[in-house]
Chain A
Amino acid sequence: MTRTVILAALIVVWQIAAVSLGPLFLPQPLAVVFATITLFGNGTIELALRQSMTVYFIAFGTSLAIGIPLGLVMGGIKPVGDAVDSFINLFNSMPRIALIPLMVAWFGLGVSAKIAIVILLAFFPIVINTYNGVLNTDKDLLEAATSFGASRGQLFTQVMFRSALSNIITGVRLGASVGILGVVVAELFTAISGLGGLIVNYGNLFELNYYFVPVLVLSVIGVAISEGLKYVEKRLTPWKQFQR
């Protein structure tokens, strides 16, 4: 209810601002609705969406497939963790967007460069959260499991991994949202394509009514992915719902 009111108020403010500023600065809400119908109708959004999502899912999938196992190994085998830890932190703390020109130099302007850029952004939060999750395993629980005769392998799979699970999911969520950002940035910096490409094109042409369409589509995707992962988290960590 409150949400609906706020939304309505926002649209009213938008309408007033759009009328007073003119379409070159801010399109009217209705113009955006018509632009949405046009762009969906002629297949522009579908094509762009397909390009963007291909990059996104390949890159995000790769980040998961490497990031989670690496984080687990780092946490489970101390020498590996100690050795790799500082490098991961170094990469994580540097502004990785600064490495985009390097990715372009290595991979060109095509799809592979875009994938590399998204991985660059999405990979680190996944590794780091997985690693920290394993490291933060309750020592008392490990001791309890040891007292029942658990082997090192059992400690890892039954205690460390399980207790790291919610951290891992946090990392996955961070990686997922920063990955969307990565897709747009990649599409701006390399060969123009996808939803990010539409944004640049319409922005440069001052066709702001069209420009808002990919922006809104990206927001919806962002929300959908984060809600989807929240659902996964609820399913995988059912005990959290009852935590007092």
Chain B
Amino acid sequence: MAPKVVVRNLSKSFPLRQGKGFTTLNVIEDLSMSIDANEFVVIIGPSGSGKTTLLKLVDGLIPPDSGEILIDGTTHPKPGPKMGFVFQSFRLMPWKTVMGNVMFPLQINHLDKRTALGRANKYITEVGLTGFENSYPSELSGGMQQRVGLARAMALEPEIMLMDEPFGSLDAQTSELLQVELLKLWQSKENTVIFVTHNLDEALLLADRILLIGARPSRVEEEIKVPFRRPRWTYDVRSEPEYPVLRRHLWTRLREMVSKSGTFPGVNVSPAVTAPLAGEEWTPRMAERS
């Protein structure tokens, strides 16, 4: 079977303000990967590796400098209903209710009203938000807001879900709960998921395959098949004998990458200029920080 997503020799850099001129910050360089249909792939890498950038490239939100991305064999992906994006910061419209937010992508894509309403109701129920249809995001907790984010992306019934640290800003308990719910939802949907995180336990619980991305400029350094049987919510994955072995391996690799690469590879400036704050992802906007 042909793979769902193929990325070949992908490179992406951003202009980096330096003094009066610009240099470039190579975020991704010569990255290749291939993802099968209905596969759950977790991309993990040190902070500041181009994980978010990679998702945006796959979605077609930003164009690559070179290399190509094929979705079902077609190059130049365009944002749209084929792919559903879930963001770390939720990004719900504050002026829309839960229902309005879930309906939004459906209306954008001109689904007829009856179908759209049916879909929205279905996914609001699936993420457990029945009864909150008319609430505004500001009335909901972080966990509930991200449930809306999930329902919104899934209501498009996308073939590919792009998830950018969706549970990264939630407390540990809520994020564990949502990980399990995501597993259940994914199991019943059978779509392809590309999930970015830097949480090792999350990666090991969710993934069919983990792609380890190196520090900037990033490429795939290693791929790890996760052997645990599914469905994984029926038992404690962490008590499997391979679990600590895999976790230690991942952790060691991540540490190596961070220490080996120096603090800010890919650009010849003093670290202070571009240093992301602790726990912060690198964004192009950050390049303008001085």
Residues of A within 8 A of B (CB): 140-141, 143-150, 154, 158-159, 162-163, 165, 237-239, 242-244
Q: Known contacts being A148-B105, A149-B108, is A237 close to B95, with CB within 8 Å? A: yes
Q: Known contacts being A239-B136, A239-B138, is A144 close to B81, with CB within 8 Å? A: no
CB of B85 within 8 A of CB of A148, answer: yes
Q: Chain A nearest CB: distance from B153 CB in Å?
A: 8
CB of A143 within 8 A of CB of B61, answer: yes
CB of A147 within 8 A of CB of B79, answer: yes
Q: Chain B nearest CB: distance from A99 CB in Å?
A: 38
Q: Chain B nearest CB: distance from A172 CB in Å?
A: 17
B202 at interface (Cβ–Cβ under 8 A)? no
User: Chain B residues near A158 (CB, 8 Å)?
Assistant: 104, 108
Q: Chain B nearest CB: distance from A23 CB in Å?
A: 55
Q: Known contacts being A158-B104, A242-B136, is A148 close to B156, with CB within 8 Å? A: yes
CB of A239 within 8 A of CB of B87, answer: no
Count, A-B residue pairs, CB within 8 A: 62
Q: In chain A, what residue has the closest Cβ to B80? A: A149
Residue from B59, B61, B95 whose CB has the most chain A CB atoms within 10 Å: B95
Beyond the given A145-B104, A148-B80, A163-B93, please list 20 additional residue pairs across the A-B interface where CB-CB is below 8 A.
Answer: A140-B87, A141-B93, A143-B91, A144-B85, A145-B108, A147-B61, A147-B162, A148-B79, A148-B85, A148-B109, A148-B152, A149-B105, A150-B108, A158-B104, A159-B93, A162-B95, A239-B94, A243-B94, A243-B138, A244-B138
Q: Chain A nearest CB: distance from B101 CB in Å?
A: 10
User: Chain B residues near A148 (CB, 8 Å)?
Assistant: 79-81, 84-85, 104-105, 108-109, 152, 156
Grouping DSSP codes into helix (H, G, I), strand (E, B) and loop, the A interface class, with mixed when no group exceeds half, is: helix
CB of B136 within 8 A of CB of A140, answer: no
Number of interface residues of B (CB under 8 A): 27
Complex Cα gap A143–B91 (Å): 9
Complex Cα gap A199–B87 (Å): 60
Which of A146, A237, A242 makes the CB contact (< 8 A) with B79? A146
B139 at interface (Cβ–Cβ under 8 A)? yes
Complex Cα gap A163–B92 (Å): 12
Complex Cα gap A141–B105 (Å): 12
CB of B104 within 8 A of CB of A147, answer: no
Closest 10 CB pairs of A and B: A149-B80, A148-B105, A144-B91, A147-B85, A239-B136, A147-B79, A242-B139, A150-B108, A243-B138, A242-B138
Residue from A144, A239, A242 whose CB has the most chain B CB atoms within 10 Å: A144
Q: Chain A nearest CB: distance from B135 CB in Å?
A: 8
User: Chain A residues near B108 (CB, 8 Å)?
Assistant: 145, 148-150, 154, 158
A-B contact pairs, 27 of them (CB 8 A): A140-B87, A141-B93, A144-B87, A145-B104, A146-B79, A147-B59, A147-B61, A147-B83, A148-B80, A148-B81, A148-B84, A148-B85, A148-B104, A148-B105, A148-B108, A148-B152, A149-B78, A149-B80, A149-B81, A149-B105, A149-B108, A165-B95, A237-B95, A239-B136, A242-B136, A242-B138, A243-B94
